[in-house]
């Protein structure tokens, strides 16, 4: 489990081990547009301002994943305790 912080509001949302980032945000009233929810379409692409994503998608290239400044929150997670998202 880990937390995500929304850069715009400073709000922190906890992501349980059993839920996706998209689901945790939706439960907190923050809607991220999704389509496939399997990491293939890129619809949910979100910028990462701080922290290290644990990429689980099939959409970003290896280089894009390594850059660590964006991730697919329908399936990807965090390495470490906190991601700050451009939301």
> To the nearest whole angstrom, how small is the minimum distance from the Cβ of residue 37 to ligand FES?
5
Nearer to ligand FES, 10 or 54 (CB): 54
Cβ closer to ligand FES: 19 or 43? 43
Instruction: Give min distance, CB of 73 to ligand FES, in A.
Output: 7
Q: Under the rule (CB under 6 A), what is the footprint of ligand FES?
A: 34-37, 39-44, 57, 59, 72, 74
Alpha-carbon distance of 87 to 32, in angstroms, equals: 9
Q: Which is nearer to ligand FES, 10 or 19 (CB)?
A: 19
Minimum separation from the CB atom of position 7 to ligand FES (A): 20
Distance between CA atoms of residues 87 and 76, nearest Å: 16
Cβ-count burial 47-85 (b if 16+ within 10 Å, e if not): ebeebebebebebbeeeebeeeebbbbbbbbbeeeebbb
């Amino acid at each position: 489990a880990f937390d995500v912080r929304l850069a715009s509001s400073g709000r922190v949302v906890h992501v349980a081990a059993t839920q996706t980032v998209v689901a945790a945000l939706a439960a907190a009233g923050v809607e991220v547009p999704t389509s496939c929810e399997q990491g293939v379409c890129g619809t949910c692409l979100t910028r990462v301002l701080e922290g290290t994503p644990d990429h689980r998608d099939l959409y970003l290239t290896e280089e894009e994943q390594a850059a660590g400044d964006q991730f697919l929150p329908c399936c990807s997670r965090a390495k470490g305790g906190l991601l700050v998202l451009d939301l």
